[in-house]
Structure 1
Amino acid sequence: MDIVLIAGLWLDGSAWDDVLPELETLGHRGIPVTLPGQGDGATSATYDDQVAAVLAAVDGADGSPLVVGHSAACTLAWVAADQRPDAVTGVALIGGFPSTEGEAYADFFEPVDGVMPFPGWEKFEGPDSDDMSDELKESLLARMLPVPVGVTRGVVHWTSERRHGVPLTLICPEFSPAEAQEWIDAGDVPELSAATALELADIDSGHWPMFTQPAALAALIDEASGR
């Protein structure tokens, strides 16, 4: 099966390099997406540009792909369910949740000169990064790409109620499935509260399992593809 892979903020398609061979071993073809403004040099990129890139990857895949989103890009993966409900096998979310209708996509940190740079590892101390070595953090820091404010401050809109029936897997890294279920039950994550085909999966990692647990992550993606 084709697997469309969308990395979160500050990362390009190479974030999946360690996961791709693991997926291939399991019989899948990974399609990593380099999002506009995150690796292509387009500093004027917008949220809508990133949406278009994801939909183009879905449309270009063989058959019905599974769409995988990481962190903030969980919203972009859920866009595929919203706008291509008949074209996708399902969606898997890693360490994040789809934005609520009318929210900004990812306006988390103050921009500098029109872009939102990576704020430094101190913002992600604790469960997010405890499984990462200093060497890995240093290596990733050199790869982090500032994200244009046209992306981060883009407003999210949902268009089709049919998205709620698309098979959805939430992979829980720095938080547990039990914690995620509490947030869902409390209505803190409206898009997941409304999902009718949701499963939760645990992974023993921090926020970036594609770097620290690529084989385990690929195995969970493979399970999601079988739903």
Structure 2
Amino acid sequence: MTTTTSSPTIILIAGHWLGAWAWDEVLEHLKTDRSRALAMTLPGLDGDDPDRAAKTLDDQAAAILDVFAGLGVSEDQPATIVAHSGANAPVSLVLDRHPELVHRVVWVDSGPVASGSVFAPDIADELEELPLPSLDVLAQQASLEGLSIEVLERFRSRAVPEPGPVLRQPVELTNDARRAVRTTLVCCSIPSAQVLELARTGHALFAEVANLEHLDVVDLPTGHWPMWSRPRDLANAIQSAASRTN
């Protein structure tokens, strides 16, 4: 039997090029549900930080843990982390280092990474940062389904280049306890049945999913940025996942 808790702490972390602002519409719906929800901007994605291009995955993981500390997250009062897209690398580090602080992780069109993973192993060492590509190129890399011209223009105007060190740093994981953290996959641009099949066959992007001990899947058909294309439905999925205690 599934039981729930009324006011879970939820921390929302968007993927590459995005800050806390990406979750504005989702937060509106979560607050209606009286959730204790907060969106954060990872180090390196604050456009006002003059040193942002030097930030690393370790800096990002440390910042998430700082947010935990500020919210009073503890083993007795763990948080739910919502990680979209490329936020999977720093969140995987947090799960590895402090799994006891996480009640549940919700991967939004994303999933856990395996130890040794590097997001962009082929980029040049001298590349300081990676700007958001043109929308034509972006559409070849991820689905833009459900995004209006206005939303795409906002994306373009507010995107912050991704720091080179974040893209080049290997994710080093050593603690198998991370795999015991309760997990929900919100599958958007790839249906859950396909994700699970890819995991079963050892596909590099999804192989770690096969090692998870407590896994739920939710299908939310849309593009890769459901916080803009289906914010209410995504908020409902997050709220439902965060409220579960098993």
* CA deviation after TM superposition for structure 1 residue 73, in Å: 0.7
Q: Distance in 2 between matches of 1:163 and 1:44?
A: 27
SS in 2 for 1:171: strand
Quote the Cα distance in structure 2 between the aligned partners of 1:85 and 1:4: 15
C-alpha deviation, 1:124, in angstroms? 3.3
TM-score under structure 2 normalisation?
A: 0.86
Q: Secondary structure at the match of 1:179?
A: helix
Q: Which consecutive residues of structure 1, in runs of 5 or more, have no partner in the other structure? A: none
Matches within 5 A, 1:113-152: 113-125=127-139, 128-152=143-167
**Counterpart of 2:16?**
9
Match of 1:22 in 2: 29
Contact 1:20 1:29 in 2 (8 A): no
- What SS does the corresponding residue of 2:53 show, helix, strand or coil? coil
Q: 1:216 aligns with which of 208, 233, 240?
A: 233
- The CA deviation at 1:129 is 0.4
Cα separation, 2, equivalents of 1:216 and 1:196: 26
1:48 to 58, 70, 78: 58
Q: Does 1:66 align with 2:73?
A: no
Distance 1:146 1:72 in 2: 13
The structure with the largest helix share of the pair is: 2
- Structure 2 alignment gaps of length 5 or more: 1-7
Tell me the distance in 2 between the aligned counterparts of 1:108 and 1:33.
Answer: 26
Closer, same or farther: CA 17–130 of 1 in aligned 2, 3 Å: same
Contact 1:109 1:116 in 2 (8 A): no
What is aligned with 2:194?
179
Q: Which runs of 4+ in 1 moved over 4 A?
A: 108-113
Is 1:225 aligned to residue 242 of structure 2? yes
**Are 2:107 and 1:93 equivalent residues in the alignment?**
yes
Structure ID, larger Rg: 2
Q: How far apart are residue 108 of structure 1 and its match?
A: 7.5
Provide the identity percentage.
32
How far does the alpha carbon of each residue in 1:77-100 deviate from its partner, in whole angstroms, 9 at most, with x for none?
A: 233322222111110001112222
Q: Which amino acid aligns with 2:36?
A: R
Maintained 8 Å contact 2:93/2:172: no
Tell me if structure 2 keeps the 8 A contact 1:78–1:91.
no
1:27 deviation in Å?
Answer: 2.0
C-alpha contact (below 8 Å) 1:5/1:69 kept by paired residues: yes
**Amino acid aligned to 2:31:** E
